[in-house]
Amino acid sequence: MTQRRQLVIGAPALLALAACSTMPASNDRPPIVFVHGNGDSAALWQTTIWRFESNGWPRNRLFAFDQPMPLARDDDAVAQPGRSSTAESMAFLKAQVRRVMDATGAARVILIGNSRGGNTIRNYVQNGGGAAHVSHVVLGGNPAHGIWAVPGLREGSEFSGLSPFMKQLNAPKGPNGDEVTPGVQWLTLRSDNNDKYAQPEGTWIGAPGKPTNVSHDGPALKGATNVVLPGVDHRETSFSPAAFAAAWRFLTGQAPQRTDIAPEAEVVLDGRLTGLGLDSNNPASGDFANNLPVVGARLAVYAVDPATGARRGEAVWHKVIGPDGRWGPFTGRSAASYEFEISAPGYATTHVYRSPFPRSSSVLNVRPERPAAADRDAKALVIFTRPRGYFDARRDRIRLDGQTALPGVPPSGAGIATSRLRLAGDVQRSVAGEFNGERIVGLAWPFAGGHLSVLELTY
């Protein structure tokens, strides 16, 4: 194992991080480009962007983009429908960085990436000319040495530590044999032992009891500042308050004034309405996420009673989705709870319930759902989901419809982000989902009428 210096967050680590940067004052902040992970979208950066704004980073210097095909190929060298190669992913990022530089006039940008987004960032900086345009990089939960490194096991995947792609990225650089490209300041953030993709044993990759040849410190890189965030899960390495605080210290040399989110009285909400793809060569594989617009879909926004999920009158916003996928902008109130109703051919009518939005956002993405085969006998279906982290029954206070044991969530480990509650009755009623103090209430809609509900956590 390559020697990689690591800091566990605490007082000494804070001092070390504070010494890492000489970032300009708040009135001259460089642009930040946020890069999402495998199968994800720009929406996952919503709370991180809010925290940067709440500490004075200008909103017009914060950028997050949707990669059209965010899932990696099974073999990076073999074309696969609905998937992107490392080269395609890098080309997308390169184009977005150029777009940001042209729009802002900035000479350099900061890149912050989660999971696979870190692979894309490293590839761009090392092989795509990014070293000339990037000052700082923050990588959260990046599988920098693979999710597995097992001879004969999908060695062509970019997630294999034995892949040509990963070996080339990690080849020694400079006089110290660093794994990171020189001339750029690097920070990695990882969990101590709770990242599903940095485990020495293969439960989360479908190989229980078998060694992955990857350790908990797999996301760390020689030549970077490597910080351990105790207890966080894979996504929380990027999207948690602790991850934000560590990134802010690294970039500015100071602790943030706050890790909560400063509210605005009036909010402007917008985002994209995207869909699900189906591999025509292998229909049995089921749906997979993409970030392509569902043109012609209809979205309606309703104000709802936060205690019951019942609508408070007629829709306060509605729109037919065009080629850009945008469903807004909608001006709302930060104290209000909203339901987003999505109607699109080939999908269930999807009712998405969210907590109030404390600040404006242009990355409030929504997606209609299709019922899985296992759901078809239900009278009503409620999906409880946490996009910016996982459910951990040992660590978190969780409740769904009064039950502490969530369907599909194991009693230990942080590796499942979605629970599907199948109801035996079709009488419309309130269902509450609770997670560490965040509580969302929505209505269960009759499944026979082609409806389903989503309770989507923000935090």
* pLDDT for residue 54: 98
- CA 54, 56, 59, 61 dihedral sign is negative
pLDDT tens digits along 189-238? 999 999 999 999 999 999 999 999 999 999 999 999 999 999 999 999 99
Q: Specify which residues 150 forms β-bridges with.
A: none
CA angle 337, 339, 340 (to 5 degrees): 135
pTM listed for this prediction: 0.94
Whether residue 97 contacts residue 33, with contact meaning beta carbons closer than 8 Å, is answered with yes
pLDDT tens digits along 341-361? 999 999 999 999 999 999 999
Residue ranges of domains in the chain, CATH in brackets: 6-252 (3.40.50.1820), 266-456 (2.60.40.2190)
pLDDT tens digits along 19-43? 455 565 566 899 999 999 999 999 9
Produce one character per residue of 263-280: b if its CB has 16 or more CB atoms within 10 Å, e if not: ebeebebbbbbbbbbbee
Q: 181: Cβ–Cβ under 8 A, 6 or more apart, which residues? A: 122, 125, 126, 131, 173
The DSSP secondary-structure symbol of 87 reads H
Tokens 């979605």 correspond to 418
Torsion of CA 395, 397, 403, 409, to 10 degrees: -30
* pLDDT for residue 125: 98
The answer to whether residue 422 scores a pLDDT higher than 70 is yes
Whether residue 124 contacts residue 88, with contact meaning beta carbons closer than 8 Å, is answered with no
Within a 13 Å sphere around the CA of 56, how many CA atoms are in the beta-carbon half? 13
**Cis status of the peptide bond prior to 70, with omega within 30 of 0:** no
Q: Specify which residues 225 forms β-bridges with.
A: 187
- Report strand pairing: 201-202 vs 185-191: unpaired
